[in-house]
Structure 1
Amino acid sequence: MAGGDEDDDYMGDLSRFVPTAVPQSSSKKEPSSNLVVSKSSSSKKSKFQNWQEQRKLDRKRKQSEEDKQTLENAGSAIPQSNIGFKLLKQMGYTPGSALGKEGSGRAEPVSLEIRRGRAGIGTEDPEVAKMRRERAKYEMNKRKESELMEIFGSHQKERWKGRRVIVNFRKADATLAQLENREVVVEKKEENDEEKEGEEEEEEEEITEEDLLNILLKLRNEFKYCLFCGCQYDTMEALESECPGINEDDH
């Protein structure tokens, strides 16, 4: 019996080796407390920032009112009761006239400029300097844009002029061939060369203004024909009197 009691006691003592459960309620509450702290700190920070901004606005408004009052006081005339005004009158000063000998000085008071910055006298205001730089940059960009547009326009004009020379030369050559009753071999192209300006350009033969002038003179001298008038005159006298000129610009 004694041995049986000892065995029972040994089995009963096994409960000492079972680990006790850790309470979870305390661990779950910690994040919420941290969240409350972070929210309170952020709200304090935002309130401090709002207070600083409001303080800056109040200071700027107060400075603006002070500057306005100072300018108004500076623009008003000195009252006649002022001791300085009385001294000036005793020295011969007349209200409204200029200072100095025989009125050779200034008639208007020196203008007042209020400066709130810490820069020295004569230093340009930062805002004014920034606006001046931006204006200069804008004008420079406009000038460059105008120059580029002018260059582009001159290139386009030269290109158009070159194409007109080629077109007029081909017309004159075809007309001369008809008048000479000869056959001209012409490559197969579209009927109107002017409509090809917006399409891909093919390689064209080198035709100069001198070539065009030579063929126009030949038409006039040999056949009394003007390409731009589009007709053949009876005599050279009629051609010279009725035709405005040899070039396309004359017509």
Structure 2
Amino acid sequence: MLRPRGGAPARLQNLTLRDQLGVDRLGLRLLQMMAGLTGFGVSLAMLLESGLGGAPWDVLHAALADRLGLTVGTVSIAVSFVLLVLWVPLREQIGIGTVANSIWVGVSIDLGMLVLPEARSLALAVLMMAAGVVLNGISGAVYIGAQLGAGPRDGLMTGLGRVLSRPVGPVRIVLEVLVLVTGWALGGPLGVGTVVYAIALGPVIQLALPHVTMPVRAVRGREDPGPAHRSSQARP
């Protein structure tokens, strides 16, 4: 359990790339980040292989993959970099985790789909779906807790929220609904798993996050990270 002394949950902070390169325990943070991203990608593969519906963005990724003759992971990587281009006018800050997220989640999805069996019974499908949602939430919290930068999709949502002067929550809902409807219209795997994911992911992340967030105790070149760098991050 990665908590500061005294038992209080560690505070999430929005570190710049320079701060991330100078943050304490960078090596351990990188290991935690990669573990979280790997679990995140594999969990998305579990949802797809369950046959009960993918995560909202993966409904779109899978639809495009079928139409273009590519893997879901390859499409996920391509979409991530398209979204990073949209970060430029939004003036979002790219971090170590942003780049790692853009590439490694897609790689992990493809590895997961290569190794995991396709569910051939309802019981196995439900088990894979439930395990995928829980693993996704925990892995997302592990990645966020490393405090090395938001993923491309979350950065887009927070950037739009800031530019439009709207709360991130409603912006996230509108954007993910648009993505989901587009993916479904293109033939993507929308199903009960998609609904369960949308409902359960947030609570799982919130339960796990206090236990895996690494506190920022020191940043080279800056004495106190300070409350001005506080941030609430969500999905990779």
| TM-score clears 0.5 | no
**TM superposition score category, shorter chain reference:** under 0.3
With normalisation by structure 1, the TM-score equals 0.19
Higher helix share: 2
With normalisation by structure 2, the TM-score equals 0.20
Relative CO higher for 1 or 2, CA cutoff 8 Å, sep ≥ 6? 2
